[in-house]
Chains A and B, each alone.
Chain A
């Protein structure tokens, strides 16, 4: 016999089911992440070539900065591409932003055909055959470039920031990625707060610290910054300030392909060699100075640099400045609820009056290529041979199609975050400051990417501890030394560094080092 409570239960279940029922497909507001439009997926099974792409920032259905409409630019471009290649279906997938995922997928041959990854990560594993060198395609014309236009002679020519794009060549000389767009960091600041306190933009590091001191006294968090960027960008920028003055004596490899952008860049083989000469140890006064400068700066950052939500602290005006990158513009410019005026400036130089090892040259940049699309071993899984793979040809063709100006404009400029790296496509005006920043020289090295993940993991961890007073300076320096020794030994074993050739160059540079101050003992 049916009782009232049974009826009540059924009603509750029915109402719950109704409330949780997914919204109807096709509504712009509910595009499933990466999903193609209704009907398109049904055709996928009938087409012989199925290309999967992990496009990073431009994944259809996402809303960068949680403002605006879900992205759909790539869907439009894919549909146009499939009209030209009716045997191909392009699928977009989201991927976890963790290297663990990438490594396991690549090892199993299951990674997306095209994916966005920092190419320095790729350099670690090129010897494993996981990635396809793109030089052969870049050197030839793009099939989608009209006669006389960039790309009609060689694909390389479509890229606007030539030096940066070519500078992404791996140390083995091959190019494993195309740089689709550009990103750069900058200090976002609250104009209202600075005006209220009568503060102008700093011209050098001394003024920069004084400005932060004033902000702290006024009750604001002077600078919002996360540990990850600080251990990457912060370390590299200060490193460049201290080591660029002696590059003439320690830059041992001049690569003609990469030199126009990566001027004096120290690769892992040079770092290994220099470490053996006493650099980057406690015997190296610049190395010690690097960490001291960071520690002295720490007092002006938010207390919790590991888990705090910086954007929230910035938009709620608890923090006066936020060290972030051009991707932050999307939210600040398009969110109608931002209650203050904001601007962006670049970090000022460290003058000799602040550090005896600095010379006051402009801070370098550490951004550059943003979406770096690589082609993986999955793309030639149809034949197992890149030379004969039809699937690979289509994957590369789609990349080439993406760099057609109107397509790049549709995809990149749908988001107010990155600077298009395709000739004929202009960036949003709000991103212009970052275009100016990018004219500066590139960093001397990128410590986060120079060695393997173990090195980086320990570097970040111990820096966190050091900056938060969890370890004394001597102990911290001992840690970095041990970490670097292990990384150097591993690199030498894996990469078979040619120390004899480096030693010959080192000897040849001895006159340049003769009058340099602050070199490690015995490294002159």
Chain B
């Protein structure tokens, strides 16, 4: 048996050789840092200083960290909001484009909605920051112009609006690759299904909810996973626009991890936060894969 396996390896040596660099890079840049971070989370380690084993102390401290509760509450809000807008809005736009009768128009709209992804993310954030800038931002100036000066505020500096201001980055949430993913899903629905539904008297919204939605569940599932991972890992919006403030009103665990690692030099503690985030993403992904039905599941069930 072992000899057979060896022979198989020898036969495919070329393929293994071609794959080896990829695995090597993955190991160096993904797996080794992960193991290092996991190990470091058990140490009190300051950059440039000495490290001391502290066991689970970093995890214990994080549970009592002043940002713990508020940052996870913020994260929950941002995740739910992002999942909603990233699933709903692009789906609506993709459906509208797909419904156009002209192939040329469909192509043009796909390009138009895709073009914004070439704008660097930081530029998008800066533009958004300029729009809602406290004193003379576009939003406030427009409000003043239409006589609603009392509604103006420092959207990013007021504790009660900052989270909404950050959540709305990317408004109107209709650009980018999500539309293409949905469009591909809608394109894969056989025309005969729509025709059959039409013969049965279904039309408009009924057709959308009874046929389109169940048959693009695979795409929805993919986008939910990607969005959840993106929101939990990402903190660039808060970092650039608010640095998690005012106070900790827009703090998220990823940003606090960054501050601890590179500002406060508490690398062990930052690693502990990173491990906690990894575990949360792992659990959510598993739950999503296990309990969220895909289009194939739906088709199999029906």
Contact = CB atoms under 8 A, between A and B. Distances in A.
Interface of A: 99-100, 103-104, 106-107, 125, 127-128, 130, 302-309, 312-313, 452-454, 457-458, 461-462, 464-465, 468, 470-471, 479, 482
B47 A307 contact: no
Q: Among A454, A461, A464, A465, find the residue whose CB has the most chain B CB atoms closer than 10 A.
A: A461
B296 to A, nearest CB: 44
Contact of A470 (B246, B262, B266): B246
A465 B250 CA distance: 12
Interface residues of B, number: 30
B72 interface: no
A164 B79 CA distance: 51
B23 interface: no
Interface stretch (B33-41, B92-100, B152-160): B152-160
Interface string B44-55: 000111000000
A470 B157 CA distance: 10
Interface in B89-127: none
Interface stretch (B4-12, B129-137, B191-199): B129-137
Interface in B235-251: 242, 244-249
B264 interface: yes
A326 B247 CA distance: 29
B66 A307 contact: no
A304 B135 CA distance: 7
Contacts of B260: 454
Contact of A106 (B48, B66, B154, B245): B48
A464 B135 contact: no
Contact of A464 (B66, B136, B247, B264): B247
Nearest to A458: B66
B265 interface: yes
Contacts of B259: 454, 457
B155 to A, nearest CB: 9
B134 A103 contact: no
A103 B156 contact: no
Contact of A482 (B47, B66, B266): B66
Nearest to B259: A457
Contact of A130 (B48, B129, B263): B48
A304 B157 contact: yes
Nearest to B260: A454
Nearest to B154: A304
Contacts of A465: 159, 245-249
A454 B263 contact: yes
Contacts of A313: 135
B244 A308 contact: no
Given A128-B48, A303-B135, A100 B263 contact: yes
Given A100-B263, A313-B135, A303 B247 contact: no
A313 B247 CA distance: 25
B7 to A, nearest CB: 47
A432 to B, nearest CB: 32
A276 to B, nearest CB: 21
Contact of A454 (B244, B245, B266): B266
Interface of B: 47-49, 66, 129, 133-136, 153-154, 156-160, 242, 244-249, 259-260, 262-266
Main secondary structure of the interface of A (DSSP, over half): helix
Contacts of B47: 103-104, 107
B135 A461 contact: no
A454 B264 contact: yes
Contacts of B248: 461, 465
Interface of chain B, main secondary structure: loop
A462 B263 CA distance: 17
Nearest to A130: B48
A99 B157 contact: no
- Of the candidates A100, A307, A462, the one having the most CB atoms from chain B within 10 angstroms of its own CB is A307
A104 B249 contact: no
21 contacts: A100-B262, A103-B265, A106-B48, A125-B48, A127-B49, A306-B134, A306-B242, A307-B133, A307-B154, A308-B134, A309-B136, A313-B135, A452-B265, A453-B263, A454-B260, A454-B266, A461-B244, A461-B247, A465-B245, A468-B157, A470-B159
Given A307-B134, A468-B159, A468-B246, 12 more contacts: A99-B263, A103-B48, A104-B47, A302-B135, A303-B153, A304-B135, A307-B133, A454-B259, A465-B247, A465-B249, A470-B158, A479-B66
A452 B159 CA distance: 26
B262 A306 contact: no
A99 B265 CA distance: 10
Contacts of B159: 465, 468, 470
Contacts of A309: 135-136
Nearest to A102: B262
Contact of A468 (B66, B129, B158, B265): B158
A107 B154 CA distance: 38
A395 B198 CA distance: 82
Nearest to B156: A307
A104 B262 contact: yes
A312 B135 CA distance: 11
B47, B136, B245, B266 — which one has the most chain A CB atoms within 10 A of its CB? B245
Contacts of A479: 66
A464 B48 contact: no
A154 B246 CA distance: 49
A495 to B, nearest CB: 12
